Amino acid sequence: MKVIIFSHESDLDGVFSAAIGLIRYPQARLVFLNYGAESFIKMRGFVESATRSSQEKGIIVISDLGLGSD
């Protein structure tokens, strides 16, 4: 099963959130992003790319991210 973890790159709670996700899903692809709408647009690109390349079901984990710029 494909698993993608998206988390915040600039603080410890984002890094630790990602680490917890990797403990549960060690095979996951990990992507660090910043806050803001632009990061969610990048996230959409990752998800679309993953779904285009496979019909396999998967899991998306989003941790410590928000639409606001701070």
Task: Map out the domains of the chain as residue ranges.
Answer: 34-70
> Using CA atoms, how far apart are residues 58 and 67, in angstroms rounded to an integer?
23
Q: Give the per-residue pLDDT at 69.
A: 64
Beta carbons within 8 Å of 63's beta carbon, 6+ residues apart: 5, 6, 7, 8, 14, 17, 18, 20, 21
**pLDDT, tens digit, 9 for 90 and up, residues 9-63:** 888 988 999 999 999 999 999 999 988 888 889 989 988 888 887 788 899 999 8
Torsion over CA: 41, 36, 22, 30 (sign): positive
